[in-house]
Structure 1
């Protein structure tokens, strides 16, 4: 920012400055506060911005004051806005929202383009820093799969995301951002900018419609002192010193001797943990104060995570404690001794073995599809560090707290490597199941921790869980927090497999598609001839189980994406129907049941992992069992020949990409009357079927894709709409097992004259239905559809 009064855009400012940092000493983002005056200001700003973008006019948002951040008379780098924080943050959120919208061709904005938003950093709080980064990265990827403007609520989707931590709800900046995103969502719909050409993202990035003047204060030097004076936040003590002082005072009230022990340990042994994980490099950009501040921050973060662990382990939320505080953690001698014990154990791990060595003795990360057979694979999208290091970097997630606690207990008890691996493997499998079904909530942590301790106490799971009977832990009836299906799967593995076979399963638990769940395969491999009591004595046919898992790994190898379409159509079988459904999808009888189809690679897990509400899941394993090896999978041209042209499977097999809407959320299909019209398969974009929802008649969708030119042949996405042929004002669609043509001109004579073999029936208002003769074997219904379009256009 070298030019006073330079006119620029938000996007250009990110490019020019490389980083925009909202520093710790700035106030929280305020435009999302639930106050009438604030709401009025936000509404006016958004109204002006969006109207300008829509009409391609220029809107200038006044001045942005700022400059490079300076410490100890040295420029650290990046733009630090002294005034303009609220406007810049609002523009950041608007750009993020725009990145979720598809362009006029239906394409998403690439992550590479959107990554420039990561140059906008919030450092008012650690939680705000993490949230903004997750928002632009992982959360956006999840939103692209599910968010549909006008259908979903963006605020609710973000709050439901696995990366949205419960602690974010106490950060006023994050709450304000969510409120503003919700306002942006509604305002964009109100002003109708969601479907612009060029799209909203392109207009914000490439257009110069929203500008502001930058006023450089570089010569003044934006030092900490300047910010502190302007924000009236000067303090004599650091936050960590105040934190430590408060902690010692609370311990002193309970036990003075423990206070001395605690203080001595804290200043000698325990500090070594964070000190060894602190960057101690000194250069022209990093001074001694930076090092001590980093160590203090990591130390206080580690304390906070241990306090949270104790808070939930002791189930203090049951006493109406909303968040852990020093006083309620150290309310008695036992609480102080527990924290001392955890830190002492961490110190032993750090000095004797090392956090990374212990962690990677049991766990590993990988981007491959196929799993290893020697360790436990973690399916994290976060930083791939040990959980101990993560505990110094920010708030641990629920799964991370679980692994932290489990490793602490096992190390403290000096459990053998064999026992530790077994317990961690079981705990990991259970936790992964809860994450998968979005049930790893903070309020379940007390029960999770109780069950982790039970598993370690018993060196595994030694009881089958029945929700009507529950289990007894420490003399109390306990309701399971881990998913019942996963718990009982682990029970079966230990009870009905010998040690060698049990160890062989870890490779398949580590498969990227199966992700710790083999329950569907195990149920498929029950030896029913010897089953007496299904719940208790259900022996597994281990040889069959392992053979089927080997087959699964052969099909879904590291290279399976190269031939995924052939795998997908290989699921189509003349005798076995692989489609799955749930009991809530039944409408008016069997023919109206909505079924899940395999549409994309990312929903493979939904078919091969056991879900309590899915029916007909075993059928896909029957098909897998008889499926050819990858090299022998049939091409679409050959696979379709297994079916009649009047069988819907023929068209899914012959036209795998054209028949598929791979961005549909659920991958569902439905028939209104399958018995009478088996070809009338409707592709759903959601779990609902109605003329107002996004849905396509499969045959119409295939024809539209085969015709190719979306300018001439237009297909609306709602309610199984027909293809509009704009060149001649006609429409064609498939319904009731035949092609249906709507036209302003009489085309019956043309069709009957040129192709008398076709079955043509005139309807009202010059509408026509056309069918193939029963003995037709030279063309299929898509060939017929193309022929009819050419006849309508008078090109045949």
Structure 2
């Protein structure tokens, strides 16, 4: 028997035989083995499917006709068709035709066929269909509630999943079509049709049903997703749809099979649905960013993404499908590159820490960035992406190489990827997809240019950090002219405190690379002191009242110092660091201890106490965790009036002025951020060249403790000891 096109109306009484052996379809019965009607379920996934299906039916009624997917069925000798596939669509069409007939008062002679659609699953579903056809709603109240209130509707029918789903669908149909006129006329004119393939004389065994239908359980989100995507592609290009869907089931399935969530022993762990959808979302973001759009407030629902980028109504849909294909296909060519899988390939590219010929990745990330993507893309912890924008750019760079590997040598790939990685690590503020500050289009464009050609395109504005771009250009020239120094450059780049930016040391001092490594293998508190002895190495932040020092424990403080930013004093930091590195070829804790001890002894012997002396002599002066201090005069000059911060951004009750804390911690006022010593109705505060004693009630100065200084404004007496003596003589006695 051949496939024929039908509407839900004309399929009844249609002849599917020939003149000698007519086969007239009289009834449609959903068999016992079929699952319950599902399109009316309340789950989010089904609600999404229901909404989209009704939208398609609405468009057909109010606009262009639609042809639905195939319906397969067995027609027996009693002219009863039992669907093998298409139950859900047929049931929804039954409900839509019932709704249109009752809403528009269609003559009963025209709707007799509705009596010939029923369910054999449960008596409740069968009887509900029969009673529904006889019932005419008032359409003046909630249609679902009106049906439930009928005397022919027993309350236990609500427990039948098919009946309850039908009620939900009727309610949804009413919401969608209540204001649509002439629905029945459009249905009679075949606004909605489907192809029917009758299967005669095969018999309806359970085995046949299971083989052909495979609907023993509800369709997964991924199955709905594939069907929707295929429908859109077929509307544009049937051959394209066939090619892409074949890859879904073969090459791409094989690609993702090793990344399925195996390990828990559950059935869900043995499929690749989630991995497909996560990588699909990555590709959709690439399409989004390439267009210059932001994904910030855009939906990540996979069906919405199909509508955004792959709908036949989108003029760019075809090219977007080609993009989708290329970003999947590029991972399927691993054997041509000499690798068994993406995992093998990526493990040859990335490493934790410096390895020759590899790119350094932070320990918090997986080396296998593809694995990371297919297991975490679009996931969030609060507002934080599990697969952040910098990782998107890095994965994009790898994909661009894989799409062009025939024209790029392996060493070129690694060198170019290193450049991109350096740019990523130093462009945290620039890599943004905020709608008011979206640089992702330019960043992806710049990334592709570097990966394909090995050169920068200066016409691309507002992409990566400008300072880092300039450094990468300089290193590119340097490595080309000094290939023997390339590995020295790469090793220095990979130091965890430098992260790709080496200008703090510079290409002219590459011989200091090993010294730098040995210095920061020492106790960082001793390194901090050694730098402070050498010079004023800290930097003033853009707000001018906060200073950045090193830290005894937190790398971010040093990273902040060693990377160009809006802070002032970077050049001074570099100068001080280089001077310290020039002192010896190898640093040890013992060497640093001697530097510190000699400096303190020299200051005390000379009777000169610069700010650096206090910083090195007393632990309380060193900011510790975050390396943050606030200066006293707001202009970066208050070396004797600064206070220690214990947070990254603001002063707190844990903050303190170190001179006061060391003089008398017991009387330090936490209510004043540690800037006062409180003694009953008096308090002491620190100034550049003295301590002032004031009244609490009116801030009147009642005494001054002067500090002797030389002509350069440097202490020539230990002000901490002097304040201690003053407190002892004036407050302790009292």
Q: TM-score, normalised by structure 1?
A: 0.54
2-structure distance, mates of 1:520, 1:674: 22
Cα displacement string for residues 744-787 of structure 1 (whole angstroms, at most 9, x for unaligned residues): 9xxxxxxxxxxxxxxxxxx9989333346679999722223333
Which residue is 1:680 aligned to?
641
- Are residues 510 and 765 of structure 1, via their aligned partners in 2, closer, same or farther at CA, if it must alter by over 3 Å? closer
**What is the Cα deviation at residue 302 of structure 1?**
2.1
**What is the Cα deviation at residue 496 of structure 1?**
3.1
Which residue is 1:325 aligned to?
305
Alignment of 1:510-529 (within 5 A): 510-522=494-506
1-structure distance, mates of 2:498, 2:333: 36
**What is the Cα deviation at residue 616 of structure 1?**
2.6
Secondary structure, in 3 states, of the residue corresponding to 1:724? Answer: strand
Matched, 1:499 2:483: yes
**Given that residues 540 and 546 in structure 2 are in contact (C-alpha distance below 8 angstroms), is that contact kept between their aligned partners in structure 1?**
yes
Unaligned runs of 5+ in 2: 1-41, 46-160, 170-215, 379-386
1-structure distance, mates of 2:486, 2:245: 47
1-structure distance, mates of 2:440, 2:636: 47
What's the Cα RMSD here? 4.1
2-structure distance, mates of 1:507, 1:325: 42
2-structure distance, mates of 1:658, 1:416: 55
Cα displacement string for residues 553-596 of structure 1 (whole angstroms, at most 9, x for unaligned residues): 12112xx3xx222211222247x4323235653xxxxxxx7643
Secondary structure, in 3 states, of the residue corresponding to 2:260? Answer: coil
**What is the Cα deviation at residue 597 of structure 1?**
3.3
Which residue is 1:756 aligned to?
none
**What is the Cα deviation at residue 703 of structure 1?**
2.7
1-structure distance, mates of 2:715, 2:395: 65
2-structure distance, mates of 1:413, 1:673: 53
- Are residues 693 and 722 of structure 1, via their aligned partners in 2, closer, same or farther at CA, if it must alter by over 3 Å? same
Secondary structure, in 3 states, of the residue corresponding to 2:640? Answer: coil
Which residue is 1:445 aligned to?
440
Matched, 1:651 2:614: yes
2-structure distance, mates of 1:359, 1:311: 26
Q: How many residues align?
A: 486
**What is the Cα deviation at residue 511 of structure 1?**
0.8
Give the counterpart of 2:703 among 764, 768, 781: 768
Give the counterpart of 1:617 among 570, 586, 598: 570
Secondary structure, in 3 states, of the residue corresponding to 1:553? Answer: helix
Give the counterpart of 1:399 among 381, 390, 399: 390
Secondary structure, in 3 states, of the residue corresponding to 1:236? Answer: coil
Cα displacement string for residues 76-101 of structure 1 (whole angstroms, at most 9, x for unaligned residues): xxxxxxxxxxxxxxxxxxxxxxxxxx
Which residue is 2:599 aligned to?
639
Secondary structure, in 3 states, of the residue corresponding to 1:667? Answer: strand
Alignment of 1:736-775 (within 5 A): 736-741=688-693, 767-771=702-706
Which residue is 2:517 aligned to?
553
Which residue is 1:286 aligned to?
265
2-structure distance, mates of 1:242, 1:286: 25
2-structure distance, mates of 1:672, 1:305: 46
**Given that residues 362 and 375 in structure 1 are in contact (C-alpha distance below 8 angstroms), is that contact kept between their aligned partners in structure 2?**
yes
- Are residues 698 and 273 of structure 1, via their aligned partners in 2, closer, same or farther at CA, if it must alter by over 3 Å? same
Alignment of 1:439-588 (within 5 A): 439-441=431-433, 443-461=438-456, 471-472=458-459, 478-497=460-479, 498-522=482-506, 542=507, 544-557=508-521, 560=522, 563-573=523-533, 576-581=535-540, 585=544
Which residue is 1:249 aligned to?
231
**Given that residues 533 and 599 in structure 2 are in contact (C-alpha distance below 8 angstroms), is that contact kept between their aligned partners in structure 1?**
no
1-structure distance, mates of 2:371, 2:658: 51
Cα displacement string for residues 419-464 of structure 1 (whole angstroms, at most 9, x for unaligned residues): 11011101111111112x3634363222222111111222243x6x
Alignment of 1:291-440 (within 5 A): 291-292=269-270, 294-315=271-292, 325-330=305-310, 331=314, 332-349=317-334, 352-366=339-353, 371-379=354-362, 381-395=364-378, 396-414=387-405, 415-435=408-428, 437=429, 439-440=431-432
Which residue is 1:146 aligned to?
none
Secondary structure, in 3 states, of the residue corresponding to 2:631? Answer: strand
**What is the Cα deviation at residue 239 of structure 1?**
0.8
**Given that residues 660 and 668 in structure 2 are in contact (C-alpha distance below 8 angstroms), is that contact kept between their aligned partners in structure 1?**
no
**What is the Cα deviation at residue 246 of structure 1?**
0.4
**Given that residues 594 and 670 in structure 1 are in contact (C-alpha distance below 8 angstroms), is that contact kept between their aligned partners in structure 2?**
no
**What is the Cα deviation at residue 405 of structure 1?**
2.2
**Given that residues 667 and 684 in structure 1 are in contact (C-alpha distance below 8 angstroms), is that contact kept between their aligned partners in structure 2?**
yes
Which residue is 1:193 aligned to?
none
**Given that residues 274 and 392 in structure 1 are in contact (C-alpha distance below 8 angstroms), is that contact kept between their aligned partners in structure 2?**
no
1-structure distance, mates of 2:635, 2:290: 54
Unaligned runs of 5+ in 1: 1-24, 29-224, 464-470, 473-477, 523-541, 586-592, 745-762
**Given that residues 551 and 624 in structure 1 are in contact (C-alpha distance below 8 angstroms), is that contact kept between their aligned partners in structure 2?**
no
2-structure distance, mates of 1:316, 1:743: 61
2-structure distance, mates of 1:633, 1:553: 14
Cα displacement string for residues 87-131 of structure 1 (whole angstroms, at most 9, x for unaligned residues): xxxxxxxxxxxxxxxxxxxxxxxxxxxxxxxxxxxxxxxxxxxxx
